[in-house]
Structure formats: C-alpha cells, structure tokens
Chains A and B, each alone.
Chain A
Amino acid sequence: MSLIEIRDLHKRFGAVEVLKGIDLDIAAGEVVAIIGKSGSGKSTLLRCMNGLESHEAGSITVGGKVLLQDEEHLRALRLEVGMVFQQFNLFPHLTAGRNVMLSPMVVKGLAEAEAKPIAEKVLARVGLAEKFGSFPDQLSGGQQQRVAIARALAMNPKALLCDEITSALDPELVNEVLAVVKSLAADGMTLAMVTHEMRFARDVCDRVLFMHQGRIHESGRPEDVFASPKTPELQQFLGALS
C-alpha cells in the first residue's frame, strides 16, 4: 500500500483552477521529484499534501487515513508528514536548538530534558551540532535550511515535503543542503520535492513528475524522463533549461 495516495485532486484559487485532477501514489521510502514551470501547480500540490492549502474535490490519504480539513485531522496528518519551505521560515526569536525543540515540546508534550537530546541528534544529522545555541540571523542561508530540515525531522515524520528548498540560496550554499537530502534519501526517508535541480533529481530520485497546467503531464524514472521526454511540453521545458 502506498504511504501517500492522491485521487482526482482539484484545487482552485478564485476563478483559476490550479490543480485539475491529480492522481498520485507515493510508496514508503520513495523519493519523488516534481518539476515544471512556475504556475504549473507543483508547489500547490505539495502544499495540499501538508494541508496548507485546502482542496475542493478529490482525496488525499496518508498512511490509510483520509485528510479532512478540520484542525484535528490536519494536525494528525502533519505529525506524519513534515515540510521544509523555500524561505526556511525558522522562528527568528528562538535558537536553532529551540526551533527544533519547540514542536516536540508543545505538540508532543515532551519535557525539555526529553526534547533536548532529540534536537541534538537531528542537528547532528544535518551536520550542525555545534550551532545549537545560534540564532537564525547568525546562520548562513544553507545552515538555516539545514536547521529547518532538522526541525521537521525532530517530529519523526514518515515523509518529508520539500518546497523548492534550495531556490532562495546562494549557488555555493545549495550543495550542503542537497547533501543532507541525499543522505536522508539513502536512509529510506520518503521524500516529495519540488525542485529546479535537475541533476539532483536525476541522481537521487526514484521518480520524476512533470507538471503542466495543473496536471501531471508526464512521469517516469528519471533516466527515461530526462533522456527521452515523450511530450513536446517536457521537451520544451528541459530544452529551455539547458
């Protein structure tokens, strides 16, 4: 059974239909890249999978549980599925360690003494054990994003959604973040990532989805999708990149 099942998902912003019937299955341990032009609906799809956007029709099922729009169901979903954002969204008034500890403490009700080792472990996991006491504005963009990944990991999610997590970074900082994602993938974490890093998608992902005008236009194994794109839209998209 798939970890995440999406059936005929529709989403509109006012008059604009941004998702026009998405069907998608993501198996546990699978690493999926979502590519496409801006406005193709790829970020919206990802945000729907965390309940940050509501949907009008269709269903999202995570671990066998259907996602409903009330707070209780949304929170149950978010305990299973973590999210990392383009703009990091670290809490500026808290240290890196406190950013990571906050949710285990307030959501899961852990004591400080229980949350701290978890924070230390996940910060070490992203290579930032020594930055526990640093505030976000004392960290580089790449370090902030790695703390954001650690923050999501601290909740022990079954899957991680990454929304263009390297797009706001200076080019020289991209690799340190991708290296973390790669090691997560190697450890069997289920990942869905919207990305513009085609090489990374080809090297690390099990499957690539190309979105176009609110639909999954083409998908397949990265070696097939990148080497021999079938649709003219994907050919054009890949051509524009190179």
Chain B
Amino acid sequence: MIDFTAWDIVRNLLLAARWTVALSLVAFALGGLVGLLVLFARVGRAKPLRWGAVAFIEVFQGTPLLMQLFLVFFGLPLVGVDTPAWFAACLALTLWTAAFLAEIWRGCVESVPKGQWEASASLAMNYLQQMRHVVLPQALRLAVPPTVGFSVQVVKGTALASIIGFVELSKASTMITNASFQPFTVYGAAAAAYFLLCFPLSAWSRRLERTLHVAHRN
C-alpha cells in the first residue's frame, strides 16, 4: 500500500478538479447556447416549435440527470456514434442545462410587459428584432442572478459524470479512497473543493439578486 499524505490527497484532487471545471464550463456555455435556441422556440409564435420546446423542457426537467446520462452513454453507441464518457457527459449536461436555463429565461422574458411587444410590433419589427432590440435587453437584467445561481447546479451536476467513468473530482475521490483507505478525509476534502467552486457563485448570485431588488424599488 502506498502511503498517502494529506498533500498527496489534495494535489490529486486539485488535478482532478480541473476536469470538473472544464466540464462545467463546456456544459454551461453550450447549454446556454442551446437554451437560447429553446427559449426562442418556446416564446415564439410557431406552434410546433413551441410544443417541441415544451416537450424538451418537460423531459429534461422531469427526469433524473443520471438517467439522461445513461441514455446518452448507452444509447448513442446503438446508432453507431462512438461515445466516450467525456462526450456523453458533455452532451447530457448540455441538454439538461439548456432545459433549465430556457425555463429560467422564459420567466424573465415573460415578465417584460406585453406593451413592449406591442410597441415594438407597431414599429414594424419582426420577431427576432423585437427579441434582440427590445425584449432581451430588458429580460437580461432579471436573468443574470438566477443564471449565475443555476451555474452552481451545473458544477454539482458534473459529479454524476463520475458514475459513467469520467475522471473528475468525484471519481478521483473514489479512486484515491480505494488507494488510501481514508474516505473521511478524501470525501471531506472533495466536498471542500466543490464548496470552494460553488460558494462564490452562490454568494455572487445572491448579491446580484439583492442589487436587482434595490434597483427595482427605486
């Protein structure tokens, strides 16, 4: 048995934490892009697109992320797509993130008063112009705090990638535990690492929320 010092544990966890960060960033960025598309479909006028968006959101919000991960991981190879764990994790987390962000943003868009749509329509703007120039700029202000808040869920969600074998913080913890037999220390340290990633985002989201409320009142 190899002797693990506290530093060995921390060093290895930090190395693995890079992958947690990378996966989070990819899922959040791509999820944001896909989420924007879903949002446009969801609040747009085309009925089939709207229904499609509703179904997408319902399915990904209405089932466990772990199941989504499994379905992608085991499903894509069946249609001939080579699916390593990192790819399945990125894809599943992206879709899951997209569904939640689309729904969060829909709330923000819908809180922009109807009169803004009517006014911009009366200026002969089309749907995309209305969104781009009138509605989104107003919705954006409201959207920032909950979006930052959701990023915490994304970081925590990446832990599930460990279950299909992607070596990030959680998987590394299990591997180090198996080698060091110090589960209390290792999982405690892993939790601390997640906390250090997530807490600043939580705190930032809360602060944004507060400033928004104050700005709203004045």
Asked whether any CB of A lies within 8 Å of a CB of B in the complex, the reply is no
B-contacting residues of A (Cβ < 8 Å)?
none
